[in-house]
Structure 1
Amino acid sequence: MSTGSLLGKIAVITGGSKGIGAATAQALVALGAKVVINYSRDGSAAEHLVQKVLGADNAHAVQADAGSIQGIESLVAATVAKYGKIDILIPNAGILPMRDVENTTEADFDQAFNLNVKGPFFLVQKALPHMARGSTVVLISTTQNHASTVNGPYTLYCATKGAVEQLVRTMSKDLLAKKGISVNAVAPGPTGTELFYQGKSEQLLKMIASFNPNNRIGTPEEVAAAIAFLSGDGAKWISGQTIRVNGGQA
């Protein structure tokens, strides 16, 4: 399967300054796209990525709250002002609250659903007027929605990602029929981002790696490669799918 060139394409990546988002930005730029990197707080990481890694001619950083309507509208407006259109939309920003039923507060619930579900939904809505036929949306789910090893503290997170997968299932039919826009998702397994490694002991990391038939943790670049594929012409006959990118773990 070939991704193909993304020359002339404009991509928007929320949560794009680190981890899977940053790796995806690099993958898309390598294929010829220009990217808008959205970030919430860490402007220095975003500017470093734009200036030192991607190149200022290839990328533009925009600060915005990807879980609020106002933030989403400002991100879309900044993208259109800079590049005039949107071809690839990747609502990657998310939060992973470790909360079982007994320990979930209303604030936890609202924060998780705002960033993980409301944000992607309304980002697609606000971007649509600027997306032509053949454009793509790639949402982010999680292998935890399909893993037998999942446990209680993932309850809230998996609820948000279950909603994302339903968006893919129904939004893909709607947008493809009306506008010729495909909608898919990737569902990464454990992936070695800075956030993933934070607070985990070496023993725990070895245990997580042992769940995978490759006996290792995935890399952001491996997930980014799948996102890049779904963003390109090589995937133009794929829509409504959630692709599990986990090295065969689930």
Structure 2
Amino acid sequence: MDNGNQKVAIVTGGSRGIGQAIAMRLAADGFIIAIHYASNHDKAEESVHAIRTVGGTAIAIQGDVGDPHDVARLFRQTTHEFGRIDVVVNSAGIMPMARIEVDNLDMLDKTIATNLRGAFNVMAQAAAQLGDGGRIIVLSSSVIAKSFPGYGPYIASKAAVESLVPVLANELRGRAITVNAIAPGPVGTDLFLEGKSKELIDHLAKLAPLERIGKPDEIASAVSFLAGPDGAWVNAQVVRVNGGYA
């Protein structure tokens, strides 16, 4: 398919929450969007429909970011449909709560498989597929700095993802491809809100100087900056979009 000069972005985890907001914002910025989703076909199609309703172009592609074959197919199908890939945003992730206890090793493995192995798979395919001047953006988390009980597997996975960012930026030297991470603070999504009491949510909201929970659109705005022309000189960075939550 010939799209002229219109750029194409892949957004993993783009069917809901922050990923959906990112997909919608990049579509508004003029990108064609390939929305990756893990299992919720209906939610992914809702995102595609919303983009098409406002005149954009989008498709939904199912897969497991932890499976290298699924990730390769995501990139292959996007290239087949649209002829190019310019921006890759890895927003897919899970956040199970599990203390560092002998019975929770399976939760660590599950979290690492999606959050770290998934990020590695997506970053590796992006490195192989993007042309010069491309953008790679991965989602981390500002909770890394908090060391809350029960967040061990999640924090470990996201800290490892952050460590990959400058390494890949150096490995892509000479190709004008930027590699950055966005580390949101608490954001009002199902992923964050699930299993939390109102008291806990209110407490977490008060931790930042701005004293509120973030909005998915605010994270999407930061991604838009990194993906657009104004973000061209930002590379190998972790941008903490968190209202001062530190």
* Fold conserved between structures, TM > 0.5: yes
Aligned residues: 241
Q: What is the CA–CA distance in structure 2 between the aligned matches of 1:241 and 1:104, rounded to whole Å? A: 35
Equivalent in the alignment of 1:222:
218
Equivalent in the alignment of 2:49:
51
Q: Which moved more, 1:217-226 or 1:94-103?
A: 94-103
Identity between Structure 1 and Structure 2 (%): 37
Task: Give the conservation status (yes or no) of the 8 Å contact 1:17–1:46.
Answer: yes
Q: What is the CA–CA distance in structure 1 between the aligned matches of 2:125 and 2:206, rounded to whole Å? A: 42
Q: Could you say if the C-alpha distance between residues 82 and 169 of structure 1 is closer, same or farther in structure 2, counting changes exceeding 3 Å?
A: same
Equivalent in the alignment of 2:176:
180
Q: Deviations over 1:93-112 (max 9, x none)?
A: 01112122115533222221
Equivalent in the alignment of 1:106:
105
Q: What is the CA–CA distance in structure 1 between the aligned matches of 2:27 and 2:117, rounded to whole Å? A: 27
CA RMSD after TM alignment = 1.6
**How much does 1:53 deviate?**
4.1
Task: Give the conservation status (yes or no) of the 8 Å contact 1:80–1:130.
Answer: no
Question: What is the letter of the counterpart of residue 129 of structure 2?
Answer: H
**How much does 1:57 deviate?**
4.6
Choose from 187, 193, 198 the match for 2:189: 193
Task: Give the conservation status (yes or no) of the 8 Å contact 2:6–2:30.
Answer: yes
Q: Deviations over 1:152-205 (max 9, x none)?
A: 211111111111111012111111x14221100010000001222223222222
Q: Could you say if the C-alpha distance between residues 218 and 57 of structure 1 is closer, same or farther in structure 2, counting changes exceeding 3 Å?
A: closer
SS of the residue corresponding to residue 151 of structure 2 reads: helix
**How much does 1:54 deviate?**
4.2
Where do 5+ consecutive residues of structure 2 fail to align? none
SS of the residue corresponding to residue 249 of structure 1 reads: coil
Equivalent in the alignment of 1:3:
none
- Superposed counterparts of 1:104-183, under 5 Å: 105-147=104-146, 150-175=147-172, 177-183=173-179
Task: Give the conservation status (yes or no) of the 8 Å contact 1:141–1:186.
Answer: yes
Q: Deviations over 1:6-32 (max 9, x none)?
A: x71110011100000000011111111
Equivalent in the alignment of 1:77:
76
Q: Which moved more, 1:32-41 or 1:57-66?
A: 57-66
Q: Which moved more, 1:127-136 or 1:16-25?
A: 127-136
Task: Give the conservation status (yes or no) of the 8 Å contact 2:182–2:240.
Answer: yes
Q: Could you say if the C-alpha distance between residues 99 and 234 of structure 1 is closer, same or farther in structure 2, counting changes exceeding 3 Å?
A: same
Question: What is the letter of the counterpart of residue 59 of structure 2?
Answer: H
Q: Could you say if the C-alpha distance between residues 199 and 101 of structure 1 is closer, same or farther in structure 2, counting changes exceeding 3 Å?
A: closer
Task: Give the conservation status (yes or no) of the 8 Å contact 1:218–1:246.
Answer: yes
What TM-score do the two structures reach when normalised by structure 2? 0.93
Question: What is the letter of the counterpart of residue 234 of structure 1?
Answer: D
> Is 1:38 aligned to 2:36, yes or no?
yes
Equivalent in the alignment of 1:238:
234
Q: What is the CA–CA distance in structure 1 between the aligned matches of 2:240 and 2:38, rounded to whole Å? A: 27
Task: Give the conservation status (yes or no) of the 8 Å contact 2:91–2:139.
Answer: yes
Question: What is the letter of the counterpart of residue 195 of structure 2?
Answer: G
Q: Deviations over 1:30-52 (max 9, x none)?
A: 11111100001110011011113
- Superposed counterparts of 1:61-100, under 5 Å: 61-100=60-99
Q: What is the CA–CA distance in structure 1 between the aligned matches of 2:82 and 2:127, rounded to whole Å? A: 15
Larger RCO, structures 1/2 (Cα 8 Å, 6+ apart): 1
